[in-house]
């Protein structure tokens, strides 16, 4: 019996060894194939990309999305040469009817001026960077938006020391408290309380609903100062009353009084005897 089992083993052993060898060979081929076909997902980190970044193209003389024209004006200021560098819009535009000053370029006088009118389209409106130099020394710089001061404005002394810094938002001090007759649309300004560095500082305005000025006055360190003027709601600018406040914020014993009064036709009705 043992001889028979030994005989069977000797006959089948080559076949078993051949099958194992074949299986190992196929496994080796599969591993090599997987190794070849496996994608390389590693990334080589370098300090520079293979392609340079494409520079963003900035349109020349374009500010706040609007095309402008470069201009300059030279004037004499107390025997010193003053050079102003600025830009004006190429197209006439509508300007804000509420702000006190809209700056435009007067080509006849070759200088910056206040717009004569706010109605319809206004030409040569300042828009973009502004610089003022005296004897080649920068003394003022800022930005204009549709003829009014916008963003940061710097005022420097002749030795380039910072003298004053102001922040604007389309003509008004950036932190001013502005209320509207139409709070949703915000097209009809009712009142502008000037705020600088957390205090009431600057020119105060109150408007009629039709946009005409009703009251104008001045604040200094949270206090009313100088002459405050009330106006009639008429097509012509006619004062209704002048009220005298202290000339500055430091006079505590000053008693406010009415200086003058007028009717709707500009006829004077009253004048205070305190006026010298």
- Name the domain boundary from 174, 196, 211: 174
**Is 264 found in the same domain as 161?**
no
Number of residues that make up the chain? 276
Q: Which pLDDT score is estimated for 22?
A: 55
Structural domain including 180 reads: 175-276
**Is 210 found in the same domain as 274?**
yes
How many CB atoms neighbour CB 154 within 10 A? 14
Instruction: Please check whether residue 258 lies inside any domain of the structure.
Output: yes
- Name the domain boundary from 174, 206, 231: 174
- Name the domain boundary from 145, 174, 203: 174
Instruction: Please check whether residue 22 lies inside any domain of the structure.
Output: no
Q: Which pLDDT score is estimated for 38?
A: 45
**Is 135 found in the same domain as 119?**
yes
**Is 186 found in the same domain as 142?**
no
**Is 268 found in the same domain as 201?**
yes
Residues of the chain with pLDDT under 50: 6-7, 9, 32-51
Q: Which pLDDT score is estimated for 30?
A: 52
Listing from the earlier edge strand, what are the strands of the sheet with 128-134?
62-63, 66-77, 80-89, 128-134, 137-145, 148-156, 162-169, 172-173
What's the structural domain count of the chain? 2
Q: Which pLDDT score is estimated for 29?
A: 54
3-state DSSP helix/strand/coil percent for the chain, to nearest 5?
15, 45, 40
What pTM value is reported for the model?
0.73
* Residue 206 burial (C-beta neighbours within 10 Å; 0-12, 13-18, 19+): middle
**Is 98 found in the same domain as 158?**
yes
**Is 180 found in the same domain as 141?**
no
**Is 213 found in the same domain as 113?**
no
Q: Which pLDDT score is estimated for 118?
A: 87
**Is 155 found in the same domain as 128?**
yes
**Is 203 found in the same domain as 153?**
no
**Is 203 found in the same domain as 159?**
no
**Is 185 found in the same domain as 261?**
yes
Q: Which pLDDT score is estimated for 8?
A: 52
């Amino acid at each position: 019996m043992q001889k028979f089992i030994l005989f069977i083993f000797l006959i089948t052993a080559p076949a078993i060894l051949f099958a194992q060898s074949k299986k190992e060979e196929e496994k080796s081929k599969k591993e090599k194939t997987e190794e070849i076909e496996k994608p390389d997902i590693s990334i080589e980190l370098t300090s520079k990309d293979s392609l340079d970044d494409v520079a963003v193209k900035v349109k020349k003389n374009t500010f706040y999305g609007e095309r402008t024209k470069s201009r300059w004006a030279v004037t004499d200021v107390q025997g010193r040469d003053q050079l102003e560098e600025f830009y004006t819009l190429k197209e006439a535009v509508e300007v804000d009817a509420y702000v006190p000053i809209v700056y435009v370029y007067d080509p006849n006088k070759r200088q910056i001026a206040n717009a004569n009118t706010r109605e319809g389209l206004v030409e040569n409106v300042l828009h973009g960077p502004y610089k003022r130099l005296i004897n080649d020394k920068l003394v003022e710089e800022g930005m204009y938006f549709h003829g009014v001061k916008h963003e940061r404005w710097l005022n420097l002394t002749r030795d380039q020391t910072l003298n004053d810094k102001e922040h604007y938002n389309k003509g008004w001090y950036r932190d001013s408290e502005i209320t509207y007759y139409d709070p949703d649309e915000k097209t009809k300004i009712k009142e502008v309380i000037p705020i600088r560095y957390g205090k009431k500082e600057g020119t105060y305005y109150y408007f009629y609903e039709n946009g005409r000025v009703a009251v104008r006055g001045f604040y200094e360190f949270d206090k009313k100062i100088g002459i405050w003027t009330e106006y009639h709601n008429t097509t012509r600018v006619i004062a209704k009353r002048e009220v005298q406040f202290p000339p500055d914020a430091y006079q505590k014993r000053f008693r406010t009084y009415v200086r003058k009064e007028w009717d709707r036709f500009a006829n004077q009705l009253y004048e205070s005897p305190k006026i010298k």
